Amino acid sequence: YPVQYEGQECSNNIFYTGAAPNQQIEPSVDWLLQNKGKEFFLIGSDYVFPRTANTIIKAQLEAKGGKTVGEDYLQLGNTEVTPIITKIKQALPNGGVIYNTLNGDSNVAFFKQMQGAGLTPDKYPTMSVSIAEEEVKAIGSEYLKGHYAAWNYFMTVDSPANKKFVDAFKAKYGADRVTNDPMEAAYIAVYLWKQAVEKAKTTDLESVRKAALGQTLDAPGGTVTLENNHHLAKVVRIGEVKEDGQFNIVFATPKAVSPIPWNQFVAETKGLSCDWSDPAKGGKFKTTT
């Protein structure tokens, strides 16, 4: 599964090559608390990822001295964003952090109307977790400049592996095309599967599943390792949108962050873990009380 997701699951039949919440959502909330403010308004599309993400964010803010001043949702594809913008201005009259889990066309309408309503990034810094280079290109960097996104990979990662990846992608699909985090995660998935098949010397499902655990890859965004919970250890990055539509990386973890699929801020899943290398443990077992 090559996209970031809300966590709170761990399947033996899935290898998750996108971010778990502790590799995207949680570090970005910490960064915002340290650098941008403690009052948050949460907006999202009305389905499982934003709802679960915001449950995690609210628990994290409560644990770390932040405050959720508002929360609102739009149906997928809904572009009637004026009521949400009005609520944000009422809840944060002097500015504050907006945490955005909107998807699709709602983002286009939101950022365009946000700018028109005077919600500028200096007073209302917005962190998004579903806007990458392709979305910036579609919406227009003039509406997103100065706002933020959290991912494991950005096209601006400075490494030989990423230069090779970007150059090869542009050569095949066009010089005007951009790479992004889900693309890199899908690329990683294919090559990790290849390595697992080579190690197992067969395409037999169970053999490949076992051989996949512990595989590492020098990916465009840095070295990744497939851990026993079927998630990747990955570097976490935060980028600020630039005028050219690319991201200036303003934060990166010094090393890969191990994935934690069961969230440790949410009471119902605190202390749960996952280990598919040990059938006696499996996808959901208690490590702490």
**Domain residue spans in the chain?**
21-153+235-259
Mean pLDDT of 204-222: 97
Among 252, 47, 63, 65, smallest CA distance to 157 is for 252
As a whole number of angstroms, the distance between CA 148 and CA 36 comes to 11
Residue 287: band (very low, low, confident or very high) from pLDDT cuts 50, 70, 90? confident
- Give 67's contacts (C-beta < 8 A, 6+ positions apart): 38, 39, 40, 61
Over its C-alpha atoms, the chain yields an Rg (Å, rounded) of 19
List the structure tokens of 207.
């053999």
- pLDDT at 289 > cutoff 50: no
Helix (H) / strand (E) containing 58: helix 48-64
Distance from the first to the final alpha carbon of the chain: 31
List the structure tokens of 273.
């873990």
Mean pLDDT of 218-245: 98
Which architecture, in CATH terms, is 21-153+235-259? 3-Layer(aba) Sandwich (3.40)
Q: What is the pTM of this model?
A: 0.95
What pLDDT shows up at residue 288? 58
